[in-house]
Structure 1
């Protein structure tokens, strides 16, 4: 059983006609089952690259965060004004979607990948907002942008010296479209972001296309993958992580670009947390170590 729809989403600063697109696999009317919400990365990567998680659990709900994919786009980012964008806006959007589906009084689980995990950690830290949250999965995510920037430096230091020098020069000159920088970034991306070949593989290609073509992504994140200097630059979950009281699973790939240090605050501050590292995986463990990933997450959700 599957169906899709649109949830009206009225938020100050956004057009009154805003909608969140969603797709559900499974029967939401079966109260013996706990619905699982999937929060995609980016920001603005869209839901497509996570669709294989439908084999993880039913019912499962995928959605595109407003501003990308099949949800309302063409927002004020076209004029360069992304001031309406905040992580709190997307927390409200998740709560709005839960209510739209009539699930605000039923236990739910949430899994967030990358930026989606950042958003999930912030949403889950509000005990009133997340009162019906049962389990939380933070998948290849980070606890703060400050920690992430330091982590990127750690990962770049693992690259060959000539690649490091090319990236450093390209970022310093802000020549983000230079062939030399793109070639150096291919080394970084294929070593620490996605191990699947060809790169990007068909499953993750939609996310890379969405990020490359989204004006809003550049406003929110910054001008380059390695330069998180946009509206998100001061984001942190660290002050409120102790407020997450539900059992939490944190996962990462053993060779991904987000190092242990950027995720450590989750483990240190969330009271009930388990940490799993998937060997021979980068940022997309659900693809690179599919069976192990599905088995571990299923076990956690069923526990």
Structure 2
């Protein structure tokens, strides 16, 4: 695709300047409102979300990708601890990038997993005037609900797999190959069900493995054993302040089961909820045709003030 530009935005934190890497697919000066994507993790680089450029191909919507601080092509800071890696940091980084790109007064947001958590927090706590529409993909309203959701899914694993996971978590032997194999089974069922995984997904997970600093500190060792700083995270109490039309998407086999996303639907005033029938945590890879139809229609529809 020829309409691609890449660059970095200087981001000042505590007197130090770091770099946020970004890629724009399309023309930000085209007059069509751009879509800014927020990847998951935290700390899983943007590559797995790259197929969102389909929205540019079919609707000419400029799509912005970026690697959040601490991963991918942005500045890595493995020496930083939990006091540095906060929700506020990533909201500040988003503000900085929007200003750098000159789109802070008119943009849409699409957040996946942790990116959806960030997007919901940003919309409900910062109240950005330029944000017009919000897409929350496979996103929990709180980590307590995520834990409950994953507990349900873990009960669906073979008994011996459940016992292996419990044994190694209690012993702290999370690098044991037996434990990692059991984690991989969960991921095959509930993170991405395509076989094999798409190259973009593999590239993102390779990036996470290369530098797991942010993920380990904020989340934990894997998707279902949350022991990091996000363990008590919740956005439920501020969801009612989101004024933008919001699309919520989750899937049948998703880590974000219905109990995770129901508060999003019940508390965001202008919310639409779509469930994907044959996907897990990455419907844009698992059911791309239906997924892109749903998201495309949402982003291009004319909504009244009483959606």
TM bucket (normalised to shorter chain) is: over 0.9
Alignment match, 1:47:
46
Q: Which runs of 5+ in 1 are unaligned?
A: none
Alignment match, 2:62:
59
Q: 2:199 aligns with which of 189, 197, 202?
A: 202
Do the aligned residues in 2 keep the contact of 1:76 with 1:82 (CA within 8 Å)? no
C-alpha displacement of 1:157: 1.1
- Aligned equivalents of 1:168, 1:157: Cα separation in 2: 12
Do the aligned residues in 2 keep the contact of 1:127 with 1:243 (CA within 8 Å)? no
- Matching of residues 134-173 of structure 1 within 5 Å: 134-173=132-171
Alignment match, 2:304:
none
Provide the secondary structure at the position in 2 that maps to 1:54.
helix
- Aligned equivalents of 1:190, 1:224: Cα separation in 2: 13
- Aligned equivalents of 1:141, 1:284: Cα separation in 2: 11
1:189-241 CA-to-partner distances (Å, cap 9, x unmatched) read 1111111112x431200221122232232122123332211122221111111
Do the aligned residues in 1 keep the contact of 2:251 with 2:257 (CA within 8 Å)? no
Provide the secondary structure at the position in 1 that maps to 2:110.
strand
Alignment match, 2:73:
70
* TM-score after normalising by structure 2: 0.92
1:64-103 CA-to-partner distances (Å, cap 9, x unmatched) read 10111111113533xxx23211111111111111111111
Distance 1:166 1:75, change over 3 A: closer
- Aligned equivalents of 2:199, 2:192: Cα separation in 1: 12
Do the aligned residues in 2 keep the contact of 1:196 with 1:288 (CA within 8 Å)? yes
C-alpha displacement of 1:51: 0.8
Do the aligned residues in 1 keep the contact of 2:141 with 2:264 (CA within 8 Å)? yes
C-alpha displacement of 1:145: 1.0
- Matching of residues 105-144 of structure 1 within 5 Å: 105=105, 107-126=106-125, 128=127, 130-144=128-142
Distance 1:74 1:97, change over 3 A: same
- Aligned equivalents of 1:121, 1:93: Cα separation in 2: 15
- Aligned equivalents of 1:230, 1:186: Cα separation in 2: 20
Provide the secondary structure at the position in 2 that maps to 1:175.
coil
2:40 paired with 1:10: no
Cα RMSD for the two superposed structures: 1.4
- Aligned equivalents of 1:135, 1:37: Cα separation in 2: 11
1:224-268 CA-to-partner distances (Å, cap 9, x unmatched) read 332211122221111111111110000012112221101111011
C-alpha displacement of 1:17: 2.1
C-alpha displacement of 1:137: 0.3
Q: Which runs of 5+ in 2 are unaligned?
A: 302-307
2:20 paired with 1:20: yes
- Aligned equivalents of 1:270, 1:56: Cα separation in 2: 25
Alignment match, 2:305:
none
Provide the secondary structure at the position in 1 that maps to 2:13.
coil
* TM-score after normalising by structure 1: 0.93
Do the aligned residues in 1 keep the contact of 2:217 with 2:229 (CA within 8 Å)? yes
Alignment match, 2:99:
99
C-alpha displacement of 1:127: 5.4
- Aligned equivalents of 2:114, 2:188: Cα separation in 1: 20
2:299 paired with 1:301: yes
- Matching of residues 250-261 of structure 1 within 5 Å: 250-261=248-259
